[in-house]
Homo-oligomer: A and B are copies of this chain.
Amino acid sequence: MSLTDVLSRIDQDLPAATDRLLELLRIPSISTDRAFKADCDAAADWLVADLNGLGVTTEKRPTPGHPMVVGHLDGPGPHLLFYGHYDVQPVDPLDLWDRDPFDPEVQDTPTGRVIRGRGSADDKGQLMTFIEACRAWKAVHGSLPCKLTFFLEGEEESGSPSLVPFMREHADELKTDLALICDTGLFASRVPAITTMLRGLLGEEITITGPSKDLHSGMYGGIAINPVRVLARIIASLHDDAGRVTVPGFYDGVSELPDDLRAQWQGLAFDHARFLNDVGLSHPAGEVDRTPLEMIWSRPTCEVNGIIGGYTGDGFKTVLPSKASAKISFRLVGSQDPLAIREAFRKMVTDMLPPDCSVAFSGHGASEAGVFETTNPAFEAARAALSDEWPDPAAYIGCGGSIPIAGHFQNLLGTTPMLIGFGKDDDQIHSPNEKYDMESFHKGIRSWARILDALTRA
């Protein structure tokens, strides 16, 4: 029996694999919202049952937040770990969804079949590509090809508060030869990729308080400080006219791209016009002297993810608000120190406060950027396997998003992380109408079968 048999089995089993994914997508496991705690638990239970059905000894492991799903299977050859996350992003604004985000379905679209629903691409659909590859392998061979550990998280979309403590506590259990992480995308729509450069993430929520209560702007307007104005001034000051972040020391640890990587990226011929056009834009809006790929892969950023203050309902209310708050996040690169930046940011904000204003800070995650070596021969083996499955050869790329787990494997466990995923730029992850292409799902499963074969054949 050969890889070909496994690939055939994957093709035959695709309808059933899709049904299994739809079942998992129906569980609204939104980790950031306490109202969905039981649903996160249910998603973990679903995965525990599914993995145990594959012969992987799997348990739900408690944390102060949502549980980890950890499974082990003994076997020959290298010891591989697979990481994915079963939690999903919130779904608001709900009115922009074409259907219930948790009533997923397969849809035919002008660009092909898609699986529509929250979590289809991020990350339930992706994590199931690996599990389905294992299922097909087992169906054909009767057993899996190597020693495997599954490590599935339920707090990835809410800053992973339990992750580092759990990994430290269970370091021996989670240390493996290689950590496969499926939470990234293809490069362009059909070019497979191994992501070797990830931005870190620092999240900060700030709430500015002026008056002790909401005031009438007729009575107090002109004499009372307005916290929305204070917050606006702070946000406006976070970038200079060249688009650079003004937090003192922010660029410490940010290096220029090595020449070889710059050359490789130029070779990718990134179509930024199309990338922007997909979302109604046409102008790269980052630092004035940077290329589009640098802006999204190798340069740090500061974004406002949310802002609220005063009256925001229908109509008009002449209130002078007591409070205003914003969620602000920084994407980090190179060796930027998230904790030093947090401190500098907080000092900068505090220094800008006028009299009578106070500020409260709330941190939401702080992860360093990741830059991963590709010297381990497993990388070239996986790259070749991916290149066999897809029309174009696989590339080593950067990724603008943050996948802190990759750094944790490297730094806490000394395990090399390998990031392979099949998402596409138009998957609308974190947005309404998230989808995962059936091609991503199908060829994703086939890709993992090829990679398992490549990594265990050697």
Q: A residues near B, CB below 8 A?
A: 32-34, 89-90, 92-93, 96, 157-159, 199, 201, 203, 205, 210-226, 228-229, 231-233, 235-239, 272, 275-276, 279-287, 292, 295-296, 299-301, 303-321, 324, 326-327, 329, 331, 354-356, 364-365, 399-402, 425, 428-432
- Most B CB contacts (10 A, CB to CB) among A225, A284, A327, A331 go to A327
Let me know if B296 and A318 touch, CB within 8 A: no
A272 vs B431: C-alpha distance when bound (angstroms):
48
Q: Which residues of B contact A431 (CB under 8 A)?
A: 213-216, 319
Q: How far is the CB of A370 from chain B (nearest CB, A)?
A: 13
Q: How far is the CB of A196 from chain B (nearest CB, A)?
A: 16
Q: Ordered nearest first, which 7 A-B pairs have the shortest CB separation?
A: A218-B401, A212-B280, A32-B315, A306-B310, A232-B235, A236-B236, A316-B364
The residue from B203, B215, B224, B232 contacting A318, defined by CB atoms under 8 A apart: B203
Q: Oligomeric state, in number of copies? A: 2
Q: Which residues of B contact A305 (CB under 8 A)?
A: 217, 310-311, 316-321
Let me know if B316 and A222 touch, CB within 8 A: no
Q: Which residues of B contact A203 (CB under 8 A)?
A: 316, 318
A310 vs B89: C-alpha distance when bound (angstroms):
14
A306 vs B235: C-alpha distance when bound (angstroms):
16
- Most B CB contacts (10 A, CB to CB) among A33, A287, A329, A430 go to A430
Q: How far is the CB of A285 from chain B (nearest CB, A)?
A: 4
Q: Which residues of B contact A211 (CB under 8 A)?
A: 279-281
Question: A316-B329, A318-B329, A401-B218 are contacts. A307–B355 as well, Cβ < 8 Å?
Answer: no
Q: How far is the CB of A93 from chain B (nearest CB, A)?
A: 7
Q: Which residues of B contact A237 (CB under 8 A)?
A: 236
Q: How far is the CB of A149 from chain B (nearest CB, A)?
A: 26
Let me know if B299 and A327 touch, CB within 8 A: no
